[in-house]
Amino acid sequence: MGIVELRDKYVLITGGTNGIGLAAAKALGARGARFGLVARNVAKAKSAAAEIRAAGGEVADIFQAELTSQASVRTLIEDVAVQAPPIDVLVNNAGAMYGSHQLSPDGIELTWALNVLAPFLITTRLTDHLAPGARVVFTASDEHTKVKAVDFDHIDGSQYYSRTAKLTGGALRRYGESKLALIMLSAELARRFPAVHSYSFEPGFVATGFNTNNGLLMRAMMAMAKPFARTPDQGAETLVWLATSPEVATESGLYYTRNHRADPSPAAQDTAAAARLWELCSTQTSG
């Protein structure tokens, strides 16, 4: 199938200044997309914008935001609603894993604040600013299969950061739980907003700067694993496919990997838990 043109289509992307986000933006730019880049670091955003323009895209807007802060996210949403045209593709790609228990300005554990509540808040508050037939793409992870369920009784995540939990990969399980939550929220978004096409996907293990912010040991482990990793371009392929492909134009709320529909874990398919999670996120972002 030939390249799907995106002339006059507006893409809003978080996490688009490096890694698979930047690779996807360049690929979508080659199809003529216009962009709104959400970034914490404006200098990095300007550098990414130059690469996107070189690929053929147009960066119409750069929105500065600290996504772990709900106040900053709300300002972002207000700016987008005023400055940006209706959004054709919303890409919730920003994410991170934190090796220690840290709190956001809102008193929420940082992995959950960034990976779950920021995309939830952005998506739900911008539903009225989405173009007809808009697509919303969430970057998930196969790590979601490593946790049995969202732990609603200990949603603060502190159980993942005890001394014992750290020795057994607690931070990675917290990351997996956050990605499980994203898959569930994507499916629930499709149920609550049937006019929106919602997708979550697994990019594979990609050679990016991910997990290099958690000390020397983690940096060394990521460096050793890098030769076995996929490239950012490879990791971005499914994201680009979901943003453009006619094959998924009538689908919503599903999970994908390597340009194919896949089955997420049984926990990710629990509709009652997804509805409960939606209400929890609504409460956590109601301030």
Q: Which amino acid is at 151?
A: D
Residue 205, domain member (yes or no): yes
Point out the residues that are catalytic: 175
CB atoms within 10 A of CB 213: 12
49-62: pLDDT as tens digits = 999 999 999 999 99
What mean pLDDT is reported for the chain?
A: 92
In a domain, 4, yes or no: no
Q: In this structure, is residue 2 part of a structural domain?
A: no
Q: What is the pLDDT of residues 33-44, one digit of tens each?
A: 999 999 999 999
Q: Are the C-beta atoms of 77 and 128 separated by less than 8 Å? A: no
Domain-embedded: residue 89:
yes
pLDDT given for residue 275 in this prediction? 98
pTM over 0.85: yes
Task: Report the DSSP beta bridge partners of residue 87.
Answer: 130
What CATH code is carried by the domain that includes residue 56? Answer: 3.40.50.720
Q: Give yes or no for a contact between 91 and 118, defined as CB atoms under 8 angstroms apart.
A: no
CA distance 186 to 256: 12
Query: How many domains does the chain divide into?
Result: 1
Residue 189 domain boundaries? 10-284
Q: Which amino acid is at 250?
A: T
Whether the predicted pLDDT of 179 surpasses 60: yes
Q: Is 1 a domain residue?
A: no
Whether 3 maps to a domain, the answer reads no
Residue 88 lies in a domain: yes
Confidence of residue 222 (pLDDT cuts 50, 70, 90): very low
Within a domain: residue 212?
Answer: yes
